[in-house]
Amino acid sequence: MKGRKKLKPLPAWMIWANPILKRYARSRLRPASLGVALLMTILVAGFFFFLARETTARAIQNPIDVGRIPLIPLLILQGLILFGLGTGQAAAGITTEADEGVIDYQRLAPMTPFAKVLGYLFGLPIREWILFLATIPFTGYSIWKGQVPLNGVLQLYAVFFMAAILYHLTGLVAGSVMKNRRWAFLTSTGLVMFLYLIIPQAAKFGLVYLKYVTIYPVFNEVYPSLIPRPLGDAAEVFNTIIPPAKFFGLNFPQYVFTLISQGVLSLAMVMMLWRRWRKADCHLLGKFTATGLFGWLQMMLLGNALPLMDSGDLFPSRELDRRFGRLINPDIQFWSPKTWEATVMIGIYGLVTLASLWWLTFIISPELHGQVRGWRRARKLGHSKLPVLSDAATSVPWVLTMSVMGAAGWFIFGRTLIESHWYPELSLLVVTPMAMFSILLCGGLGMAALLESVGRKVTGLVVILGGILPVMLGVILAVSSDDSIALAVWLAGICPVSWPVYGSGVFLSEEGMPRDVARAVPNAFWFWQGAGAILTVWLLSKLRSARKRVSNLSKEF
């Protein structure tokens, strides 16, 4: 049948006319509730503003320095409002719509999926944006009185807004997959906390890229101009030895690199939401995009880490030495990294690679229900195979590709680190690349095979019993008695999460480890790797027969 004349939908860029934005402006900015929230915000902002100024006014005579004092407390308050409350509201708001059932009305609204994403992105946390604006007069006054260079302020707030958008998008994604609004709120705000408390610690252990999902890099660069000048000048001196954002051979200003990093992640989130608005039951990411995202993450991890190896800036002890070196050990004249740092950094790199591989495998692996539907559709259309990129198609080739990419990235990281001038006496075992590939392959394919052949619930159970319980038991054993440490190592080794950690110890050195542990780790690692490989082959054969069964089932129309 011939289609009729196409009607023009509302352009997504006309955000001010977006009906979803206007709907939430109406419901979330009612005078009574907004008034209370505004009053509270102004009171808290005013309290910090005056408290900070008045407590320092006696000690600091210069009005410019006094003017700068409230800036950081206000920035923290703004972060709590936009990052914490705003993200929670974005997640809980979308879950509430699904919970009430009204989300179907919005699905039917004749708007483009992108316009819907933007409507929710700016609509759900609209009150938090207004509350943020309410703090601006205090910040503006402090910037004016403190004579803070506008360039730094603009850089900081550009990154601040980009981070808020990224976190709100993350909240929307979390809200679109979670059922309970309270859990959605808590999870998404917890995620922001995780970003600001845990991720920066991981960034200190070689994963420099992770700090660019926060505002820390730009804040560190700008903060000397946000504090009283005598302190700021000292910090400025320190800042001159903080390198710019390095990406392979390129140097970027911190704010530019942060904006690029967060912008690409935001784009990935928008894509997930766009797909969900287009088709409610489709995967968050397509197979090709997920593999591309994995490759991009690897590239970013390597691109930020490799240039910092030779200078030593990648090592956690370097930062400590700079700040407190003489205080910790006045006898040491020249800093050099310890072997354990390389072990830990290689282990953490592998762990993060495995975690991101699992995350993406979880997203792109089809459940049985989806496979049956896909097969039936393919057969109806006269195809003998599923389209490779369809949601119903197996994720195995893509997981394999990601495992190769991950192993390559991990090996490059490890080899460059060990072959740097800091470790002349160390080298990686010949089998290291194969072992790294095996860890990721067994972990990734095992997960994919489980998800595709038995579904998410059974996979969850297997993860609890095989991935969490052994580690918990191992920890209890390890702390209960020194004699049972070796047993604890063996027990925890069942869990694939421990494989990259054990592997990093095996690949180079066990220096610093207790004797029992040093002996148990390699044995446990190789044993469980072998067992993992056999199990993965078995799971893949189970998957093959499960898919054959599904394919045959779909023949019975």
Partner 1 sequence: MSEPAIEIKDLRVDYGDFVAVNDISLTIPSGVVYGLVGPNGAGKTSTFKVLTTLMEPTYGEVNVAGFDIFESAEEARRVMAYMPDLAPVPSDLKLWEFLDFHADTHRMGRAKARRERVEECLRIVNLYEKRSAWCKELSRGQTQRLVLAKTLLHRPKILILDEPASGLDPLSRREMRIALQALAADGATVVVSSHILSELAEMCSSLCVMNQGELLASGTADEVRRALGRAERNLSVVTFGDSKKVESWLEGRMGVSDLKVDGSRVGFQFLGGEEEQEKLLVELVSAGLKVCAFEEESSSFEEILVRVAKGNREV
Which residue type sits at 202? A
Give the span between the Cα atoms of 106 and 126, in whole angstroms.
18
Region from 3-11, 84-92, 146-154, 528-536 binding partner 1, contact rule CB under 8 A: 3-11
Query: Which of 58, 61, 100, 331 touches partner 1 (CB under 8 A)?
Result: 100
Amino acid identity of residue 58, one-letter, is: R
By CB under 8 A, tell whether 368 contacts partner 1.
yes
24-53 residues in contact with partner 1 (CB under 8 A) are 26-28
CB neighbours (10 Å) of residue 228?
Answer: 18
The closest alpha carbon to 187, from 174, 177, 198, belongs to 174
SS3 content of the chain, % helix, strand, coil (to 5): 75, 0, 25
Number of residues that bind partner 1 (CB under 8 A): 42
Per-residue binding letters, 370-389, with partner 1 (x by CB under 8 A): --xx--xx--xx--------
- Closer residue to partner 1 in complex, CB, 3/424: 3
CA dist 231 → 60, 62, 94, 224, 227 (Å):
12, 13, 45, 7, 7
* Residue 11 Cβ vs partner 1, minimum distance, rounded to whole Å: 11
- Pick the closer one to partner 1 by CB: 327 or 381: 381
Nearer to partner 1, 65 or 128 (CB): 128
Q: In this chain, which of 37, 52, 90, 111 binds partner 1, going by CB under 8 A?
A: 111
By CB under 8 A, tell whether 3 contacts partner 1: yes
Toward partner 1, which CB reaches closer, 72 or 282? 282
Amino acid letter for position 229:
R
Q: Kindly state the helix (H) or strand (E) to which residue 247 belongs, with its residue range.
A: strand 245-247
Q: Report the nearest approach of partner 1 to the CB of residue 12 (Å).
A: 12
Q: Which is nearer to partner 1, 9 or 149 (CB)?
A: 9
Question: Could you say whether residue 105 binds partner 1 (CB under 8 A)?
Answer: yes
Q: Which is nearer to partner 1, 12 or 264 (CB)?
A: 12
As a whole number of angstroms, the distance between CA 341 and CA 344 comes to 5
Closest CA to 86 of 136, 133, 18, 32: 133
Residue 182 C-beta: closest distance to partner 1, Å: 15
Q: Which of residues 317-356 bind partner 1 (CB under 8 A)?
A: none
User: Buried b / exposed e across 159-184, counting CB within 10 Å, b at 16+?
Assistant: bbbbbbbbbbbbbbbbbbbbeebebb
List the interface residues with partner 1, window 9-28 (CB under 8 A): 9-10, 19-20, 22-23, 26-28
Residues 438-457 that bind partner 1 (CB under 8 A): none
The Cα 203–Cα 220 span in angstroms is: 14
Q: How far is the CB of 118 from partner 1 (least distance, A)?
A: 14
Among positions 47, 76, 104, 468, the unique one binding partner 1 when judged by CB under 8 A: 104
Q: What number of other Cβ atoms are within 10 A of residue 267's Cβ?
A: 13
Given candidates 31, 32, 61, 110, which one binds partner 1 under the rule CB under 8 A?
110
Of 495, 489, 488, the C-alpha closest to 535 is: 495
Q: Work out whether 553 is an interface residue with partner 1 (CB under 8 A).
A: yes
Tokens 């110890």 found at: 505
**Of the candidates 29, 38, 109, 546, which one interacts with partner 1 according to CB under 8 A?**
109
Dist CA 474 CA 484 (whole Å): 9
Instruction: Rule CB under 8 A: choose which of 31, 101, 330, 424 binds partner 1.
Output: 101
* Residue 112 interacting with partner 1 (CB under 8 A): yes
Least CB distance to partner 1 at residue 121 (A)? 17
d(CA 226, CA 148): 7
**1: helix, strand or coil:** coil
Minimum distance of partner 1 from residue 486's CB (angstroms): 46
Find all residues with CB under 8 Å of 129, minimum gap 6, and list them. Answer: 82, 86, 122
Report, in Å, the least distance between residue 252 CB and partner 1.
Answer: 40
Q: Rounded distance, CA 533 to CA 445, Å?
A: 10
Residues that bind partner 1 (CB under 8 A): 1-4, 6-7, 9-10, 19-20, 22-23, 26-28, 97, 100-102, 104-112, 279-282, 368-369, 372-373, 376-377, 380-381, 553, 557
